[in-house]
Homo-oligomer: A and B are copies of this chain.
Amino acid sequence: MSFQQLDDLGRKLETLEHALAILGADEATHMAVGGGTKRAEAMSGLAGMLHRQSTAPIIADWIAAAESEDLNDDQRIAVAEFRRHYTNLTCLPAEFVERLTRERLRCEQLWRDLRPKNDWVGFKPALEGIVTLAREESALRAEVLGLDPYDAMIEQHDPGSRAADIAPVFDELKTFLRDFVPHVLAVQEERLAKRPLKQLSGTYPIEKQRDLGLAVMGAIGFDFTHGSLSISHHPFCGGVPSDVRITTRYKTSDFLSALMGVLHETGHALYEQNLPHDWGHWPLGKPRGIAVHESQSLFVEKQLGRNPAFWCWALPMVEKHLGESWSIDDILPHVHRVERGLIRVDADEVTYPLHVILRFELEQDFIAGRLEVTDLPEAWDAKMRDYLGLSTLDNPADGPMQDPHWASAAFGYFPSYTLGAMMAAQQWAAFEKMHPAANDEIAKGKFDAVNAWRCENIWSQASRYTTPDLLERATGEKLKASYFINHLKVRYGV
């Protein structure tokens, strides 16, 4: 039976995926510094094995045969995901993949080297090469998938999302935020004039912050029999569903930094830990995509973790672990701090979407051939001034050189961040409508109901539906800007 052959293949691939996931997490947490060269060799060797085994021509035959077998519902959609996965993995000629891999590695290395030097001129030719390749890739994928070229790129990160659906929602959000950001800043200034910011004392030993983080993770539902928390330079969620590795980094001067990292990664971890175990070795059992994953991390970080109700419960824990007493009115100005800035990864939830929309617009222009790299600094600067009133012309390192995504040829990835934020707001609204005691429960540290809702509607569904379908089935509606806009208005507008 061909389905059985796909099932066996899945188990074989899972072995290599497991090794890559744990080696990757280990590299960022426990590896000795001198272990990097051999680790890179081992991981690229394993990745090569995984790619060869995932793209073997015989798999096409198994999939075709399985499609006409008498299967149950789960198996049928599992085969469909096998096909989707296989098509996306094999639709580029081997020669092109090699060229892309080589150029991408070169451009990434150059980016790491030249960004700190603010050297746009040195970086430009490499990025031009990548943009050319990305246009080629998107055309090749578009042809096979029957999609527009940019949509074919989005599809790699966020299956089912289309630029034509995203654009009007992002436009509505952009129009709102252009006026809302100055309003929020004025409100914030006025509030701080009345009640000056209570400074963090800056005396938070790492061990105590870690214990606080562990306590919060556990309460929110992280399963410590299937995961752990450690330290890395950048917070991440890695490992495998049976052993999810999340990390944060600590500043002894500021406990919010590490704790917010823990909350965000716990959101990712809950998704991984609660995927359907029996499907773990099928593409169907994987998380739906980057946007949905981000909706889960932002759900915990923003919808729960920056919710004032959350702090009713969390502040006594802060006091218990760090020995510092805070009132809600004193902590919220830190948790809800809004600031116009040049850097996407440092942005708060109000200004962040403008960073993303800027990139979403520019990368569509790149793929469509309407924008060339040589014009990027001006195009970037024009939008930065328009959306956030900031200029980056003299500072490309904090402008178009700030992110690694384009250097890695990851076009179509950026929208996921803001799609995730919007979906999280829409999910919370749907949950709260069904469950009016939502905020009261959060204030008591009770996360059972909200987790049960997410488990039923998101986590247990894995890759059963496209991103838009998953959201619509969970919330009863297509993606709408209004939920996120309302969320921002309530939290920041008054």
Residues of A within 8 A of B (CB): 11-12, 14-16, 18-19, 22-23, 26, 29-35, 37-39, 41-42, 45-46, 49, 223-228, 230, 240-245, 280
- On chain B, the residues within 8 Å of A23 by CB distance are 18-19, 22-23
> How many whole Å from A390's CB to the nearest CB in chain B?
41
CA distance A49 to B46 in the complex (A): 11
Q: Quick check: A226 and B35 within 8 Å, CB to CB?
A: yes
Which of B29, B38, B45, B280 meets A242, CB within 8 Å?
B38
Closest to A15 in B: B45
Q: Quick check: A34 and B225 within 8 Å, CB to CB?
A: yes
CA distance A469 to B227 in the complex (A): 48
Which of B18, B22, B39, B223 meets A34, CB within 8 Å?
B223
Given A34-B226, A226-B32, A226-B34, verify A15-B242 contact (CB < 8 Å): no
Given A32-B227, A32-B243, verify A19-B38 contact (CB < 8 Å): no
CA distance A45 to B39 in the complex (A): 20
Q: Quick check: A228 and B30 within 8 Å, CB to CB?
A: yes
> How many whole Å from A287's CB to the nearest CB in chain B?
16
With a 10 A CB-CB cut-off, give which of A29, A38, A226, A241 has the most chain B CB atoms. Answer: A38
- On chain B, the residues within 8 Å of A26 by CB distance are 22, 26, 30
6 contacts between A and B (CB under 8 A): A19-B23, A26-B26, A26-B30, A32-B243, A32-B244, A38-B242
- On chain B, the residues within 8 Å of A224 by CB distance are 32
CA distance A230 to B230 in the complex (A): 13
CA distance A22 to B12 in the complex (A): 19
CA distance A22 to B223 in the complex (A): 24
Q: Quick check: B22 and A242 within 8 Å, CB to CB?
A: no
- On chain B, the residues within 8 Å of A39 by CB distance are 18, 242-243
Q: Quick check: A243 and B34 within 8 Å, CB to CB?
A: yes
Which of B31, B32, B45, B230 meets A11, CB within 8 Å?
B45
> How many whole Å from A379's CB to the nearest CB in chain B?
43
A-B interface, 5 closest residue pairs, ranked by CB to CB distance from nearest: A35-B243, A15-B45, A18-B42, A34-B225, A38-B242
> How many whole Å from A47's CB to the nearest CB in chain B?
10
- On chain B, the residues within 8 Å of A18 by CB distance are 23, 38-39, 41-42
- On chain B, the residues within 8 Å of A226 by CB distance are 32, 34-35
Q: Quick check: B46 and A15 within 8 Å, CB to CB?
A: yes
Q: Quick check: B32 and A30 within 8 Å, CB to CB?
A: no
A18-B42, A23-B23 known; 17 new pairs, CB 8 Å cut-off, are A14-B45, A15-B41, A15-B42, A15-B45, A18-B39, A22-B26, A26-B30, A30-B30, A30-B245, A32-B227, A32-B243, A32-B244, A33-B225, A34-B225, A34-B242, A35-B240, A39-B243
CA distance A245 to B35 in the complex (A): 11
- On chain B, the residues within 8 Å of A49 by CB distance are 15, 49
Given A23-B19, A227-B32, verify A11-B243 contact (CB < 8 Å): no
CA distance A142 to B223 in the complex (A): 51
Closest to A47 in B: B15
> How many whole Å from A248's CB to the nearest CB in chain B?
16
CA distance A223 to B32 in the complex (A): 10
Q: Quick check: B45 and A12 within 8 Å, CB to CB?
A: yes
> How many whole Å from A98's CB to the nearest CB in chain B?
18
- On chain B, the residues within 8 Å of A32 by CB distance are 224-228, 242-244
- On chain B, the residues within 8 Å of A227 by CB distance are 32
Which of B11, B29, B41 meets A14, CB within 8 Å?
B41
- On chain B, the residues within 8 Å of A241 by CB distance are 38
